[in-house]
Structure 1
Amino acid sequence: MEVEESSEQISILNGTEQNTATEAIDEAPTLMEESELFQDAVIELGRRLWKSSPEKQHYTKGCLWSPDGTCILVPVHLDGMHVIELPRDLYLARTMSATRALSKLDTAVHVREGGTVYDYVWYPFMSSLAPETCCWLASRQHEPIHMWDAFTGELRCTYRGYDSVDEVEAAIAITFSNNGEQVIGGYKKSIKLFDTNVPGRALSSISVKQAVSCFALTTDNDSTVTTGSWNGFINHFDLRAPKLGPLFTLGGHTGGITWLRYAALTESDSWLLYSGARKDNKILEWDMRNYLKPVREFRRTVETNQRIYFDLSAPEQRWLVSGETGGNLRIWDLHNNIDEAVPLHGDCCNGVNFHPSLPILATTSGQHHFVDSAEDEDLQIIKAKSEQAEIIINYENALRFWWIGKSVVDDGETDNLL
């Protein structure tokens, strides 16, 4: 494992910068006003690009803001995981000028994980004011679950799941329990539970008949967990009854489930679940208290097997956003039943994530591009064709920050987005 740190390390690491970030975190607005979002044209705040080629494609695989909003985690195919911090002038921003200079988003911590990163999640109570809480989990091919330090990029510990022949098995999906005391791993044939404070082997295991592809937890019941599967079904389990099997199973998607999200993650009283699947052009909304059929259906364009993330604004869940294969950002106003597609990327928009307190949206782009060189057996010819393909293929592997709140333009007017 190699760690790469830029000169601008995560804010609280260095002297005077620590004080500045601490004050900014303390004074920052607690939550954005959802009624003010997407009323003006979005403004790009910052950008980070990764170079790519047909031989070694470095495309992003989504993004996830830290719970305190100071930085964002971005896995990149064949390039590990990058922690990138929020530009400091945005901590206390309430409005944004359309003429603001674009920020260069440099990597603060780079963990060079080999292989494919299956899933990742921040510790739910992560705060830059408490360094011991600054960590995330990641699962990758052929490896146990790793916990990484967000300041140094060092490996803190591992959580190891074993298969039926006592060999280490990689978790396909991972999450923390709501209270952060348990690590939950989803495997091909089981759900394994680990004590966060006691790394090592799983404490308990629940057998499943369908491989777990993703998790969602409702704050209304800490003893249950909802899982997606590559078979296209959604299962709901009670962790207190490991031999009972799923309490119920939902169908409705044509592809494997890639992402699940409960509404009202910061409040109780909601059992609304949103689900998306690969090569499936719909997001389904379920009421898990009456799950016979979806409540609503939202249309988007998903033409690949990769995970295309969606996200809900908080705390009212007025806005639902999703990436699309063509590079659009799809936006739904759930209160007024309005939707709009906004072209933001030149390649597949695979990741979207609302900042936890500011009117800022992070998006990522990129996908695997297939280059057909099987007709030529001469390696030099193949190489030459690949170099040409790099110019022809429109690679855009990017992380971009967008201001989605109130904006100020030179002529005093604003353009309404929705």
Structure 2
Amino acid sequence: MGLHFQNRWQAESVYLRSPRTVTLSLSGKSNEMDDSANLSASMCDVEASMLNQNVSFSSTMVTSNGDLTLPKLSVTLSEAEIQKLRSRPAKNCVESPNASADAAESAQEDVDAAEEGEGESVVDIEDTLELTADGNQVKPDFPEAAAAPVPEYFQGVLVELGRRCWTSSTEAQHYTKGCYWSPDGTCLLVPVHLDGMHVMELPGDLYSAQVVQTRPLSKLQSAVHVPEGGTVYDCVWYPHMNSQQPETCLWLATRQHEPIHMWDAFDGTLRCSYSGYDAVDEVMAAISLAFSHDGEKIYAGYKRCIKIFDTSRPGRLCDDYPVKFAISCIAQTTDHPNTLTCGNWHGYIQHFDLRCSHKQGPLFTLGGHKGGITQLRYGEMGSGKWHLFSGARKCDKILQWDMRNYKKPLVELKRHVDTNQRIQFDFTPDSHWLVSGDSWGSVNVWDLKRYGDPSILPLHSDCCNGVSLNPAMPILASSSGQFHFTDQSAQGDHVTFNSSETKELTALGEVNPNEREVIYENAVVMWWCGQSG
């Protein structure tokens, strides 16, 4: 994995990985402890209470002998500060007549303790504020972090950067099932039918690229391969994933007959599992997955309920929210974290308030698609946060809704979808462009500031089922492939990209040249969609 660590901003070269652990403070919450808490509790007692033994603590607040410690927050007063405290008049208190006297006595005890070196005192925050001549506070001169420039998309011709193809046969067809850029834009997650999940890294020379005109085509390799069997129903990245913080590099996946698994994006190991059980105590497979925006909760859609797991608590403990239909996809707006927007296979979009009883049902239901809902996405910026985009199986429309006035969709965007599989769509980070695949192998691009007919880019020779825009760079990832009904009598038929790709695979010994070729494309491709010189 040496190359794997080097490509991710070369930030993990000094990071020594310990045995497989997961940090349970992914959302950045601090450990709140009561004053009566025993800070010397052994970590063995904590781990024994965990439902899944694959998970252990990995925190900077754990000492070498296993004890918990709190950071030292106090500072020692200087002589000038001690004199200032002595000369400062006591503040008025309204609680009781003796309150000011008690406060003054307490302050004097702190000063005496500081003078004798027996303790440390905390500086009052008001004493650290510098005032100008007119009495206004002077803002501290801290260097402000420069805002990351927003990449510009679709400013020139598309340039192919890299490609990865999978061979297939009539016995076991391998085809992609979408693609997902990580939130930091360093790697791409690609589920493949009957071949698990692959994590591919962005080529290292593109991190500093501003303009790409021509470059050698990269052969994308799997930095991490999780050889899951069966069908992967859904997968989702941790929303605050950052390759400079390995404990946040993870994704969730659900597949047939299995609980929800959390996978490590560095070595592909299983971190933990979240299990949903039915009425007869059998494991159920989740159909759809979504993280809350803060990463603290996991929303899992099942056939008759929504299960809500605490990210820091693996196992089977969760909250159930019963629903009437199977939840096929989930979306959540940033402005209302207590609500969920869910699609189902009956073609309806339902909006739930999780604070209400499930007996009240959804707040409202939206219709407009003729097939089951396959994807829901809210806009990214400004008023677009209230705009919901929906796509469905065997439906040639992407509908845009304003959730503040949801009587009818605002806009209908046309695309060609004649299959039951999920055909992805995605936004640029500034919500300027919307891209979508279609059943004809093309990528459709809409300008959301002008709308109108889309620009159609014929990038694949088979169904383009996945599109994903890099959040940090103008790079588009697209994936292709679908299940094909073939003649079972032709047992040696291989399914490959095209004749040139067949020659390359034959030279590598992966394809027998005597076997008959069937032209189907199963590939994932990266495209430069920014300035091309």
Q: Following the alignment from structure 2 to structure 1, what is the Cα–Cα distance between the partners of residues 184 and 451?
A: 30
Q: Secondary structure at the match of 2:385?
A: coil
Question: Is the CA contact (8 Å cut-off) linking 1:29 and 1:92 kept in structure 2?
Answer: no
Q: How big is each residue's C-alpha offset from its partner over 1:254-298, in whole Å with a ceiling of 9 and x where there is no partner?
A: 00000111001x667721000000011110000111111000000
Q: Choose the corresponding residue for 2:403, options 288, 292, 298.
A: 288
Provide the residue aligned with 2:470 in structure 1: 355
Provide the residue aligned with 1:345 in structure 2: 460
Distance 1:253 1:16, change over 3 A: closer
Q: How big is each residue's C-alpha offset from its partner over 1:385-411, in whole Å with a ceiling of 9 and x where there is no partner?
A: x46998553211111111111112xxx
Question: Is the CA contact (8 Å cut-off) linking 1:186 and 1:211 kept in structure 2?
Answer: yes
The worse-fitting range, judged by mean Cα deviation, of 6-15 and 102-111 is 6-15
Provide the residue aligned with 1:215 in structure 2: 330
Q: Secondary structure at the match of 1:228?
A: strand
After TM superposition, the structure 1 = structure 2 runs for residues 392-411 of structure 1, keeping only pairs within 5 Å, are 393-408=518-533
Q: Secondary structure at the match of 2:205?
A: helix
TM-score, normalised with respect to structure 1: 0.87
Q: Following the alignment from structure 2 to structure 1, what is the Cα–Cα distance between the partners of residues 8 and 473?
A: 23
**Structure 1 residue 18 and structure 2 residue 4: aligned?**
no
**Structure 1 residue 8 and structure 2 residue 3: aligned?**
yes
**Structure 1 residue 332 and structure 2 residue 446: aligned?**
yes
Query: Following TM superposition, by how much is the alpha carbon of 1:372 offset from its aligned partner in structure 2, in angstroms?
Result: 3.6
Q: Following the alignment from structure 2 to structure 1, what is the Cα–Cα distance between the partners of residues 465 and 306?
A: 26
Q: How big is each residue's C-alpha offset from its partner over 1:56-94, in whole Å with a ceiling of 9 and x where there is no partner?
A: 111001011111111110000000000100001111211
Q: Choose the corresponding residue for 1:322, options 427, 432, 436.
A: 436
Number of equivalent positions: 383
Provide the residue aligned with 2:282 in structure 1: 167
Provide the residue aligned with 1:189 in structure 2: 304
Q: Following the alignment from structure 1 to structure 2, what is the Cα–Cα distance between the partners of residues 382 and 332?
A: 42
TM-score, normalised with respect to structure 2: 0.69
Distance 1:357 1:200, change over 3 A: same
Q: Secondary structure at the match of 1:8?
A: helix
Distance 1:181 1:402, change over 3 A: same
Q: Secondary structure at the match of 2:491?
A: helix
Distance 1:336 1:313, change over 3 A: same
Q: Secondary structure at the match of 2:457?
A: strand
Q: One-letter code of the match for 2:198? A: H
Q: Following the alignment from structure 1 to structure 2, what is the Cα–Cα distance between the partners of residues 117 and 355?
A: 23
Distance 1:311 1:255, change over 3 A: same
Write out the 4+ residue segments of structure 1 that deviate beyond 3 Å after TM superposition.
10-19, 31-34, 266-269, 386-393
Distance 1:183 1:387, change over 3 A: closer
Query: Following TM superposition, by how much is the alpha carbon of 1:18 offset from its aligned partner in structure 2, in angstroms?
Result: 3.4
Q: Following the alignment from structure 1 to structure 2, what is the Cα–Cα distance between the partners of residues 41 and 118?
A: 34
Q: Following the alignment from structure 2 to structure 1, what is the Cα–Cα distance between the partners of residues 278 and 243?
A: 36
**Structure 1 residue 258 and structure 2 residue 366: aligned?**
no
Provide the residue aligned with 1:30 in structure 2: 148
Distance 1:12 1:129, change over 3 A: farther
After TM superposition, the structure 1 = structure 2 runs for residues 106-117 of structure 1, keeping only pairs within 5 Å, are 106-117=221-232
Q: Choose the corresponding residue for 2:491, options 361, 366, 383.
A: 383
Q: Following the alignment from structure 2 to structure 1, what is the Cα–Cα distance between the partners of residues 274 and 341?
A: 21
Query: Following TM superposition, by how much is the alpha carbon of 1:347 offset from its aligned partner in structure 2, in angstroms?
Result: 0.8
Question: Is the CA contact (8 Å cut-off) linking 1:347 and 1:394 kept in structure 2?
Answer: no
Larger radius of gyration: 2
Distance 1:178 1:17, change over 3 A: closer
Distance 1:387 1:105, change over 3 A: closer
Flag the structure with higher strand content.
1
Q: Following the alignment from structure 2 to structure 1, what is the Cα–Cα distance between the partners of residues 379 and 461?
A: 30
Q: Following the alignment from structure 2 to structure 1, what is the Cα–Cα distance between the partners of residues 461 and 387?
A: 33
Provide the residue aligned with 2:391 in structure 1: 276
Q: Choose the corresponding residue for 1:63, options 169, 176, 179.
A: 179
Q: Following the alignment from structure 1 to structure 2, what is the Cα–Cα distance between the partners of residues 399 and 388?
A: 15
Gaps of 5+ in 2: 15-144, 497-514
Query: What percentage of aligned pairs have identical amino acids?
Result: 58
Return the structure number with greater relative CO, CA threshold 8 A, min gap 6. 1
Q: One-letter code of the match for 1:96? A: V
Q: Following the alignment from structure 1 to structure 2, what is the Cα–Cα distance between the partners of residues 14 and 40?
A: 27
Cα RMSD, aligned residues only: 2.2
Question: Is the CA contact (8 Å cut-off) linking 2:168 and 2:494 kept in structure 1?
Answer: no
Q: One-letter code of the match for 1:201? A: R
Query: Following TM superposition, by how much is the alpha carbon of 1:41 offset from its aligned partner in structure 2, in angstroms?
Result: 0.9
Q: One-letter code of the match for 2:436? A: S
Q: How big is each residue's C-alpha offset from its partner over 1:104-135, in whole Å with a ceiling of 9 and x where there is no partner?
A: 11100000111100000000001011111010
Provide the residue aligned with 1:412 in structure 2: none
Provide the residue aligned with 1:411 in structure 2: none
Question: Is the CA contact (8 Å cut-off) linking 2:375 and 2:424 kept in structure 1?
Answer: yes
